Amino acid sequence: MTEEEKYVTTNWKEIKSTGLNLLYSGKFLNKKIADELLFRLDSEIEYFTGDLSRVKVFGKWHNIPRQQAAFGDEGLTYKFSGLSVPALPWPECLLKLRNEISKCMGTDYNFVLVNRYRNGNDYMGEHRDDEKELDEEAGIVSISLGATRDFVLRHSETRKKGSTSKISNVTIPLEHGSCLVMKKPTNHHWYHSLPRRKGCLHVRINLTFRKVKR
């Protein structure tokens, strides 16, 4: 098999700071596979509507500023920001990707959260993925498709009022077909967000593969 025909190519770059442990591979997915995945996820996936597309912040309900869907092994639900998300059965294209990623990482991921950002007005606010039901050892594997958007990480100390922390923020432009692995203990100490980018007119789809404890 030539390099071009391989499903994934790992060319990991380590990104480290105090309590931050990331791996990034910019051209992780084969280009043809990345293009096809983007097309399929854009046309075949039904995103949540109704209660599953809203979140409660300080007692008020808001539409989430992006579209979401979740898939996973049978019987799994995943709770985050006041939502309990039932995992729907894996679509064929995501099952294949899940299997390739699990093989590559040597870990069995059983759940994926899909976030679709229609354009630069859609975003994700600052948060940590530190839910108890996540298997920390597995980390979180984040695959990006479509428009390049900045992923911004901030240490919890620097968020505090009057902070004198010297720890710099880390910004990674996540490109089409890339893979970012958030390893332990990143999600204890660092918050991350996907800020608005007014100039961005194109769709981006992000997949976060997780291992939910049964």
Ligand X SMILES: O=C(O)CCC(=O)C(=O)O
Give the nearer residue to ligand X in terms of CB position, either 90 or 209.
209
Is residue 129 near ligand X by the rule CB under 6 A?
yes
Contact segment (CB under 5 A) with Fe ion among 15-23, 42-50, 110-118, 124-132 equals 124-132
Residue 112 CA to residue 92 CA, distance in Å, equals: 13
Give the nearer residue to ligand X in terms of CB position, either 115 or 186.
115
- CA dihedral in degrees (154, 194, 112, 84; nearest 10)? 80
Q: Does the annotation list 32 as a binding residue?
A: no
Query: From the list 206, 209, 211, 212, which residue makes contact with ligand X (rule: CB under 6 A)?
Result: 206
Is residue 130 near Fe ion by the rule CB under 5 A?
no
Q: Does the annotation list 79 as a binding residue?
A: yes
Residue count, binding to Fe ion (CB under 5 A): 1
Is residue 129 near Fe ion by the rule CB under 5 A?
yes
Residues that bind Fe ion (CB under 5 A): 129
